[in-house]
Structure 1
Amino acid sequence: MIERRLSYQDLEDGVATLLLFEGEEIKEDFYWDVEDMPDGAEPGDQYQPEFEDGELVALHYDEELTEQTFEEHQDALEWYNEMLEDN
């Protein structure tokens, strides 16, 4: 089964942008009122989505996935900076 997750991408004018991933592929984007986000939610957080009848009804914070994603982004940034230094 392909892993599904929601990635909290952005917050603008009280609206949170979430991207639904299936594996590594972006499938859909969602826009949620920031007041409906879990307490303490920040861009970069990763969630396990809960759907009912095709509608997103809940977000379940995934601490392990959030940390893993952050580390992957840090590694990519370090690699990019090293490439800039070598040129």
Structure 2
Amino acid sequence: MVKSSMDTRYAKDSVVNHDGIGFPCLALTDLMSFPERFGHILTTRCPYEVQFFRDHYEFCCKVADVNGKTVTVAGLDGDYLRCYCEV
């Protein structure tokens, strides 16, 4: 799993749910840095809190085109006032 390095609420290298259960992940500043750092596209396609990544659309298209796979993301498209989010 991949999350934004801006998300440091509970842990830097884990996604933590509201019960305090953590799952290991990679914290990146942007999604397109993944292949640059690790030399390949994710085989597990699950960016978490995708609204924090400005390059999420480009990344998801690239993963889908290269791997021919469905890309699953989790994120918000608005805030608590239902206003469009932009990082």
Question: More relative contact order in 1 or in 2 (CA 8 Å, sep 6+)?
Answer: 2
Q: Identify the TM-score tier after normalising by the shorter chain.
A: under 0.3
Judging by fraction of residues, say which structure has more helix.
1
TM (normalized to structure 2)? 0.26
TM (normalized to structure 1)? 0.26
